[in-house]
Structure 1
Amino acid sequence: MLIRRETERDVDPIRAVTAAAFASRRPPGQIPPEARLIDELRAGPAWLPALSLVAVTPAGEVIGHVLGTRGHVGRDPVLALGPLAVRPDHQRHGAGSALMHAVLGAADALGEPLAALLGDPAYYRRFGFELSSVYQITPTVPHWQPHFQVRVLSAYHPRLHGTFTYPEPFDRT
């Protein structure tokens, strides 16, 4: 498996991977909002192309994707992570972990102070994520708090605290 930046030719496979990965959470035939969200984020100013990564097989088939976009804590720019998706027939084989390690390493190298996401704490803890309240960072939606997490990176400074906001397309999901 190789992790690389997404290219234009990956757009349709990313949409298919994301739809398949999130399909079990939706009624049959309904396109998961996560698949539409990626297209909206990619088309907007918050998209960070260097932090939109795919996992590909040796034959070049896209089997996973992670997206990094520009979020904010107060007025300070930070990394908003997600969605992270792996095609169901490739889940539990390391693609998701490889994508997460790659995007966090790239974000750190690019000087991002922290990465924030909404997800299962039991899964993301292995990548160094902690509940955001540890760092006095709160999501805009209060009921997200038990699942809203941050991972501080090398450029983190303790003065960075307050309300986290996702890019605007997240408001429609």
Structure 2
Amino acid sequence: MSILIRKEGAEDYATTEKIVEKAFKHAEYSDQKEHFLVNRLRTSDAFIPELSLVAVNKGKEIVGHIMLTRIQIENDASTTESLALAPVSVLPGYQNKGIGSTLIRAAIEKARELGYCSIIVLGHKDYYPKFGFERASRWNIKAPFEVLDDVFMALELVDGALEKVHGTVRYSKVFFE
């Protein structure tokens, strides 16, 4: 399947929110409100327009979306900027065709190009490791809420970027509204 990945534009917002809503409608670990989160993130200081990407099919229809936003990893001595991968969404009829993987790889590459050093994800323990994600606990990085160790993961975009980083992830407050 031929897919083009491009930056999301303001004219795409309504479409991508519908995609996110449809993608999570029957998801097992979802509150079915991810589309509201995407909307709130766009108006927050966590939003990075260059890291909000869409997947477009040959018919020029948007079929997927991914967003990386600013977060911090904090401890008593320091704060380190990182990114959160949340959410990645593909229309149900296009799932299991590699579009989500293509979006994730494109977002990782774009984040590297922009000079970011790491990404944090709360996601499926068998899916995200294929992109290089490892348990965040390897670096003593913790979630700000109760979560299983094997689903809270980190990816170094620069070798050694997390070696001296430890602490608790601080997400934008809009994640909790």
Q: Could you say which TM-score interval applies, normalised by the shorter chain?
A: over 0.9
Q: What RMSD over aligned residues (CA atoms) do the two structures have, in Å?
A: 1.5
Residue 99 of structure 1: which of 97, 103, 110 is its match?
103
Moved more, 151-160 or 126-135: 151-160
Structure 2: runs of 5 or more not aligned: none
1:11 counterpart (13, 16, 19) = 13
The one-letter amino acid paired with 2:168 is T
Q: Distance in 2 between matches of 1:64 and 1:53?
A: 8
Contact 1:129 1:150 in 2 (8 A): yes
Task: Name whichever structure is richer in helix by fraction.
Answer: 1
Displacement of 1:124: 0.5
Q: 1:89 aligns with which of 79, 82, 93?
A: 93
Compute the displacement of 1:63 (Å). Answer: 0.4
Write the distance in 1 (CA, Å) between the matches of 2:147 and 2:98. 30
Quote the residue 2:117 is aligned against.
Answer: 113
Identical residues among aligned pairs (%): 33
Deviation at 1:144, TM superposition (A): 4.5
Deviation of 1:33 after TM superposition, in Å, equals 1.0
TM-score, reference length from structure 1: 0.92
Paired residue secondary structure (1:3)? strand
Structure 2 CA distance, aligned partners of 1:144 and 1:77?
23
The answer on whether the counterparts of 2:139 and 2:162 sit within 8 Å (CA) in structure 1 is no
Please state how far the C-alpha of 1:82 moved relative to its aligned partner: 0.8
Whether 1:55 and 2:55 are equivalent positions in the alignment is yes
CA distance in 2 between partners of 1:141 and 1:149 (Å): 14
Matches for 1:10-49 after TM superposition, within 5 Å: 10-25=12-27, 32-49=32-49
Would you say 1:65 and 2:65 are equivalent positions?
Answer: yes
Distance 1:46 1:125 in 2: 25
Off by >3 Å, runs of 4+ in structure 1? none
Query: Match for 2:166 among 135, 158, 161?
Result: 161
Q: 2: CA distance between counterparts of 1:48 and 1:116? A: 15
The answer to whether the 8 Å contact 1:113/1:152 transfers is yes
Displacement of 1:146: 3.2
